[in-house]
Amino acid sequence: MEKSLEFIKRNYSPLVLAYLGDSFYETLAREYVISDGDCVVSKLNETIKSIITAVSQSKIVAIVLPELTETETWFYKSGRNARNTHHARSAEAVEYRRATGLECLYGYYYLSGNYKRAKELFIFAMKRLENTEG
């Protein structure tokens, strides 16, 4: 069910969107990792962990931020600036906030039914990340 932008802004806090976006983002990551075909599950888990951590998501924000529309930037910033008392031990506070912003954006994509844009941006980021890291 597609929901309007105003419905999402009015009825969902950025942290709820981030909660939902976290699972959607992880699903996209899993799809991406298995897209090359069958492999050992332990290797899959290792690869997934390198994509879905707050540190990795923070790096991805740096890649995708210039590509975002005004609306997408609004959702990202809403998540990034949300008051969250939780902090991952494996990431700096800034990295964690940026990751929360990215997850909020993916929560927006999911609720708005904009799966095509979500996947497009995810693949764009993965390709750029792969090119810079090796």
List, as own/partner pairs, every contact residues 41-50 make where C-beta atoms lie below 8 angstroms and the sequence separation is at least 24, other chains included.
none
Query: How many CB atoms are closer than 10 A to CB 34?
Result: 13
Whole-angstrom distance, CA of residue 54 vs CA of residue 94: 10
Q: Which residue numbers are catalytic?
A: 22
The answer to whether 44 touches 33, Cβ cutoff 8 Å, is yes
Identify residue 90 by its one-letter amino acid code. Answer: S
